[in-house]
Structure 1
Amino acid sequence: MAVDGFERKRPISRARQAREAIVFAFISWLLALAQPVCAAAPPALHLTQAELWHSPSGSWAPPDTLTHSDDAVLEAATPWQTVALPHVRPRAVATPAKAAQAPPQVAWYRLQVPAAALAASPQGPRVYIPRWQTSGTVAVYANDRLLWQTRGSRTWNSTNRPVWIDLGGATPADTTLTLHVRMASQQGVGGALSTLWVGPAEALLASWRARTLLQADGVAFSRGSYLVIGLFALLLWLARRRRGEGLYLLFFVMSVFQVLSMLHYMVDSEGFGLPDEWFAWLAYVAGSMGSALCSFLFLCVINQLRLPRLKAAMLLYVGAACLITLPPLGLLELNTALPALRLALIPPGLVMIGVGVWGAIQRRTWGSALLALWLLLSLPIGFHDLGLQSYRGDIESIYLTPYVYVGLFTMFLLIAYTRYVRALDVAAQANATLERRLAEREAELAASHERLRQVEREQTLMTERQRLMREMHDGMGSSLMTALRVIEHGERDRVDVAQVLKECIDDLKISIDSLEPLDADLLALLATLRFRLGPRLEGAGLALHWAVQDVPPLPWLDAQSALHVLRILQEVLTNIVKHSGAREITVSTAEQAQGGVPGVVVRIADDGRPFSPPPPEALPPGRRGLGNIRSRVALLGGDCAWAPGGERGTVFTLWLPLRRG
């Protein structure tokens, strides 16, 4: 089972073994660069022996020249003592507070450089000192000339940066060079000086750059990278703070404390400009203690450990340490108790390691196990650095503690990466689920739409069937019933049965014509009417004149409305044939507005007897034709009227709107 992206142990693959071999080879190569090797340049001289003299001088500042120095450096009677390099002068674990104001302990180192080591080269000879360490000032002289000295704070100096001095012009060619190193140290602090290298810059440059990177610049670069990642984590926390993502905020705070805890690795020859007490408090108390506390909490989160009492104890310990050592309170002289402060970091460090190991036992994942091994490795690394700070062991080795937290930061990046990949997987699965559901909904909607279309078709057919049945019943059915009654009652002489049957056929044809698609074209509808009724009119002795012109389409002209128009015009023409005695009929169209509403008109003019219809309320019984015309016109939203046609005849006008509400 995977938790926070860490799965259970699996066999190590060959690809992973190859990657680890490459990493170890790269680290070995970096460490090898620390040794001066350059085949293209003359070999450099490695100075492993010097002469030591303890001066009674009480001055912190180095003299400008050895000739005018208060120290008897150049006197023949000076008791020099031969010592091997690296050389250390022991330091006390803690010194009295008054030692910071006492005169320094001054030690001089003298080294002889043969002329062969100063051979001319394109970049010239250099002096390379891998490491020196003390709380005080250091100066380097070539013969009688001051070439290099520390500046800024005496306590927080550039001890982690290797010395690189250009000897160009310091001594004539083919002449032995005498180097003097002056080290003024605080009382009880002691000091350490590594071996020295003298020779062409080409032979020493790679070694100096590698050590500068490992001792100072690499620490600065890594902490700067952690801080950038921490700022990114802070932005993530601000964006997701409502979701309980406290791990991102914790990582940001830890990156800040990490930068503070490594400030002393970043000091150059000019210093930081902070008071020594505050610098010590920020670097060794707030930075280191805060970093240990955040690392402890970070391990609790990723290992899913609660440990409320241990958390309270850690908070109390770190809070008390920060409060007691706060510079304004003046309870402790930090600059004289730095070794003791380093020992105070051991308890939270041990707790952090214990939490990492306990989490690995509880979780049993390869990630937690790897982190526990890394933390266990930090234990000997911490003792190594404590010994190095106390000038024990090989003082030319490199502080390794700054690189211990690489494991925690790598673990955070792995967690962030795992969560990011998991979020992508969740998003992909969500998209796939949404696509599947969308496809299902689309299929359901398509099926529903098809059912609705089927229902609409059935409803349309039923409506159309009912309309046709109603029209056939009211029109052709009524005429057929009339013809049937005439035949049954023997009234053939009084009623023209053939004429009634012709009207029935016309009704049927008109009903069928109304079903043809018209595309809102009124003229096409009138042409259909002319085709159906023209022969009948001509058979009755009427001349039909067709004077229509183009009119705009009527968007609302569907089959039902078309049938209404045909029935209206059919009724008008039938009345003309039966009752007017006309000989000529003229059908015309035009575009005409009525009451400000745009529309079209259809006019039917005849030359028969004038006709003036009675009002609707005065219609005689049995005369339903005029009522049907008026009711159909009302359904169409139009208007109709009968008017005299001049000296003779009548003009029927049907007005239809272009747009119907």
Structure 2
Amino acid sequence: MIFNLERWLASSPTTPSERWSRLATLGLIALAVLLVVVWSVLTPSEIAERGDAQARVQLREAVLTETGPLEAAHSAPASFADGVSVRLPHRLDQGELRYANYRFTLQRPLGADANAPLALCVPRWSSGATVWLDGQLLRQPAPATAGLLDMLRPEFIMLPPGLGDGPHLLDIRLRAVPGAISGLSPIWFGDSTQLREGCWALLAGQRDFTVGNVYLMSFMGLVALAVAIVKRDIMALYFALMAAAWCSHHLFALGLWTSLKESTWLAVFYATRPLAALPLVFFAFSNIGVTRPVLRRSVLLLFGLAYAIFAVMPAVYRPLWATIFGLILLLVLLVLLFWLVRYCLQHTSVLIAIFCAALVLAITFNLLDVARALEWLPRVDRTHSFLAVPMLALGMGALMLERLVRYMGAEERSAIALRDEVARQRTKMARDYQEIKAQSERIAVLEERKRIVRDMHDGLGTQLVSASALLRSSPVASASLVSVIDAALLELRSVLDVLSVVDDSNDPDADPVSLLLGKLRHRLAPIFRAQGIEFGWQTDPLPRGFLKNDRMRLQLLRVLQEAFANVLKHSQARHVELSTQVRSDGIVLEVRDDGTGFEEGRAAGHGLDNMRQRTRAMGADLQITNLQPGTSVKLTFPWPSR
């Protein structure tokens, strides 16, 4: 249910600040209602409160002497005619285009100076008014559409000088236009100085305030439209639409576009009068987070149905349409006000409290106008309904200002974040530059390293191979010299194998040790095959960072070469195998053969001592085991550090 007051009242505030905020909200709303009552009902008219009260009178009784078609209204009224006594304010029946003549009998007010000029002030009357005094024409009717503005503003009429005490006959002939509220309000008669001041104050209070509000609303609407376009803010768009609807209606009321036909002018005037309520409702929906589509569709359906009826109904019923539709909109706004107050009390928002107070003012002003239009309340000289939307605009403007400040804060935070991001990117770019520079240097070193390897292979390696071949072909060549050259050639190839293996730190799959072992296998396989020894190979991929530098990889290569050399020299094996295992407790490289093994007393020697020294230099553990038959040379390495 919409009015779930029990649950609403049960949600008591939990902190002193919330309690004070709720009290302030209710106080603002109560103050707004009190202000409207005092201002609209208890304050006197601008005319009644000026000067000597005995120097003026208010004419509330008139005689309706003539009515008829407009074509018969060109002649002056008869000097005497029977009529019907009416009490002002008086409203003419809506019907065809016609006229009505009101007659008054004037007596100089008792408090008026005998030599002071007299005047009239008419707060409200119909369009196209013509005024006679004792048969003398005092005021000509304005053109048709321009004359419609007479019903929206007071009129000051100066009477001829030297007017005696009376009695005098005052005739006011009004046009009754279908669709316009035709009739006459009470008339002030008396001292011209006092009436001029009061009548002009009454006019200025409406016209000047309306003009100022049009300027204010236009400016606020343009600002809201700019925010809506730049920030794509739907609340700002609703505010701009409300300002446009309100300004368009009051520009008509100020007299723009009087070149239109009377019927067209009146249709636009009534159609634009309630239009500002639609974006107002949507603005409030967006502000309090109402997201149910059925509510928005219902409001759109209400406006669509109302304007469809307006489009097909006769012009004479349009004032009644405006009154009934205004009453329906006031009920909608009352429901909306309840939601706003509940939201404000739950979220302790001072700005929404101000908006609620402005909405209360707007609803109360318009409710008083509707009550007067339905003749539930007597008509007064002035109305304050034109203040409703500007008051709402102030409340909505406060919310928009808060939203704008929030946007500015978000922009500032975004600028700070962007500045920080730029600083981070600059740091990253500097770091990347240093990495690229270091990478370029590494590439240059690698290129130089490859060049050295090529030169050593093509130069020194070729010369050693040639020398070895030449000595082998010579019958007088020393076998020891050939052996030395072959050993030098093997040493050169080992060094070149190590240097040709590149550890690419940017490649997550780089495994330079496995690549080096593969080259070793390529070197040894023909030798073991020539000796009739089967050469086995079982290796696992080695982890990243294992034996990072060339020195350690060369040490490993020397240990393995020594182990394989012992197999060739001493083991008489038929099968030899190299295996690598990556285990949780470390990395194991093992050379195993099926030969004769070794005697414990002969396990020491220069070759084995060198193997142990090289193993310790690599930070590994060397274990040589006599398998009987066969021998196992096992190197256990710890996991590389991250």
Mapped partners of 1:190, 1:437: distance in 2: 70
Give the whole-Å Cα distance in 2 for the aligned partners of 1:229 and 1:412: 10
Question: Deviation of residue 401 (structure 1)?
Answer: 2.3
What is the SS of the residue equivalent to 2:341?
helix
Seen in structure 2, the aligned counterparts of structure 1 residues 228 and 120 have a Cα distance that, compared at 3 Å, is farther
Q: 1:145/1:90 Cα in 2 relative to 1: closer, same or farther (>3 Å)?
A: closer
Matches within 5 A, 1:287-302: 287-302=272-287
Question: Which residue does 2:65 correspond to in 1?
Answer: 55
Decide whether the 8 Å contact of 1:236 with 1:248 is kept in 2. yes
C-alpha contact 2:103 2:169 (8 A) present in aligned 1: no
Q: Deviations over 1:42-76 (max 9, x none)?
A: 77732234663333452537978xxx62x32x23x
Once residues 84 and 153 of structure 2 are traced to their aligned partners in structure 1, the CA distance between those partners, rounded to angstroms, is 28
Tell me which residue corresponds to 1:591: none
Question: Could you tell me which of 269, 293, 304 is aligned with 1:283?
Answer: 269
Matching residue within 222, 241, 248 for 1:260:
248
Correspondence 1:272 to 2:258: yes
For residue 199 of structure 2, what is the amino acid of its counterpart?
A: W
Partner of 1:494: none
Structure 1 residue aligned with 2:136: 145
* 8 A Cα contact 2:323 2:374, kept in partner: no
- Picking from 286, 289, 295, the partner of 1:304 is 289
Match of 1:127 among 117, 120, 123: 120
Residue 288 of structure 1 aligns to which amino acid in structure 2? Answer: R
Following the alignment from structure 1 to structure 2, what is the Cα–Cα distance between the partners of residues 279 and 223?
A: 19
1:183-238 superposed Cα distances (whole Å, 9 cap, x missing partner): 3353996623213132132x334422331133334234313421232123223323
- 1:418 deviation in Å? 1.7
Distance 2:350 2:368 in 1: 27
Deviations 1:466-496 (A, max 9, x none): xxxxxxxxxxxxxxxxxxxxxxxxxxxxxxx
Match of 1:34 in 2: 46
Superposition deviation, residue 378 in structure 1: 3.9
Structure 1, residues 131-176: CA drift from partner, whole Å, max 9, x if none?
2234x53222233322224423378332121111233xx1326664
- Residues 237 and 249, structure 1, Cα contact 8 Å, conserved in 2: yes
Equivalent position of 2:355 in the other structure: 371
375-384 or 404-413: bigger deviation: 375-384
Give the 5 Å matches for 1:601-620. Answer: none
1:415 aligns with 2:399: yes
1:204 equivalent in structure 2: 195
Q: Secondary structure at the match of 1:297?
A: helix
Matched AA of 2:102: A
Q: Distance in 2 between matches of 1:28 and 1:353?
A: 21
Q: Report the Cα offset of residue 8 of structure 1.
A: 6.2
Residue by residue, what CA displacement relative to the aligned partner does 1:67-104 show, whole Å, maximum 9, x if unpaired?
A: x62x32x23xx3467766xx133556xx5xxx224x43
| Contact persistence 1:289–1:345 (CA under 8 A) | yes
Return the letter of the residue paired with 2:46: A
Change in Cα spacing, 1:225 to 1:179, as seen in structure 2 (3 Å) is farther
Q: What SS does the aligned partner of 1:290 have?
A: coil
1:409: Cα distance to partner? Answer: 0.9
1:313 — aligned with what? Answer: 298
Deviation of 1:308 after TM superposition, in Å, equals 0.9
Q: Which of 158, 161, 168 is residue 171 of structure 1 equivalent to?
A: 161
Residue 100 (structure 1) aligned with residue 100 (structure 2): no
Measure, in 1, the Cα distance between the counterparts of 2:361 and 2:396: 19
State the match for 2:149 in structure 1.
Answer: 157
Letter in 1 for 2:299: M
Structure 1 residue 228 and structure 2 residue 224: aligned? no
Q: Which runs of 5+ in 1 are unaligned?
A: 1-6, 450-661
Call closer, same or farther: CA 1:28–1:345 in 2, change over 3 Å. closer
- Which residue does 2:441 correspond to in 1? none
Q: Which amino acid aligns with 1:254?
A: M
Per-residue CA deviations over 1:376-428 (Å, capped at 9, x if unaligned) read 44444333212333455332242232222223311232123223333444455
Query: Residue 476 of structure 2 corresponds to which residue in structure 1?
Result: none
Which SS does the other structure have where 1:219 is aligned? helix
Equivalent position amino acid for 1:100 in 2: E
* Contact 2:67/2:101, CA 8 A, preserved across alignment: yes
Aligned to 1:501: none
Quickly say closer, same or farther: Cα 1:440–1:319, change in 2 above 3 A.
Answer: closer
Alignment of 1:366-515 (within 5 A): 366-391=350-375, 393-427=377-411
Residue 237 of structure 1 pairs with residue 221 of structure 2 = no
Aligned partners of 2:302 and 2:388: how far apart in 1?
A: 22
Q: 2:202 and 2:378 mapped to 1: Cα distance?
A: 15
Q: Is the 8 A contact 1:110 1:181 kept in 2?
A: no
- Cα 1:345–1:254, aligned 2, differ >3 Å: closer, same or farther? same
For 1:344, give the aligned amino acid.
Answer: F
Residue 88 of structure 1 corresponds to 89
- Secondary structure (helix, strand or coil) at the match of 1:213 reads helix
2:54–2:109 Cα contact (<8 Å) kept: no
**SS state at 2:332 partner:** helix
Aligned mates of 2:334, 2:432 — CA distance in 1 = 65
Q: 1:319 to 1:222 in 2, by over 3 A?
A: same
Q: Does 1:360 align with 2:350?
A: no
Structure 1 distance, partners of 2:299, 2:166, is: 59
- The structure-2 alpha-carbon separation of the partners of 1:404 and 1:256, relative to structure 1 and needing over 3 Å to count, comes to same
Aligned-residue offset at 1:304: 1.3
1:182 partner SS: strand
Root-mean-square deviation (Å): 4.7
| Matched letter for residue 128 of structure 1 | C
Matched to 2:104, the amino acid is Y
Pick closer, same or farther for the CA change 1:308–1:176 going to 2, 3 Å: same
What is the identity percentage for the equivalent residue pairs of Structure 1 and Structure 2? Answer: 15
Amino acid of the structure 1 residue aligned with 2:240: F
Measured after TM superposition, the shift of residue 114 of structure 1 is 5.2
Q: CA deviation at 1:119?
A: 5.4
Q: Distance in 2 between matches of 1:408 and 1:9?
A: 25
Query: 1:335, CA displacement in angstroms?
Result: 3.5
Equivalent position of 1:333 in the other structure: 314
Q: Deviations over 1:420-473 (max 9, x none)?
A: 333444455566677888999999999999xxxxxxxxxxxxxxxxxxxxxxxx
Q: Secondary structure at the match of 1:353?
A: helix
The CA distance in 1 between the partners of 2:99 and 2:163, in whole Å, is 37
TM-score (norm 1): 0.52
Query: How far off its partner does 1:297 sit?
Result: 0.7
**For 2:365 and 2:422, how far apart are their aligned partners in 1?**
59
- In the TM superposition, residue 296 of structure 1 has moved relative to its aligned partner by 1.0
Tell me how far apart the structure 2 counterparts of residues 266 and 9 of structure 1 sit (CA, whole Å): 46
The structure in which a higher percent of residues are helix is 2
Q: How many residues align?
A: 410
Distance 1:392 1:358, change over 3 A: closer
CA distance in 1, matches of 2:331, 2:35: 27
For the residues of structure 2 that align with 1:403 and 1:257, how far apart are their CA atoms?
15
TM-score, structure 2 as length reference: 0.53
Shift of 1:252: 1.8
Alignment partner of 1:250 out of 238, 255, 258: 238
For 1:223 and 1:444, the matched residues in 2 are separated by 55
Whichever residue aligns with residue 398 of structure 1, its letter is R
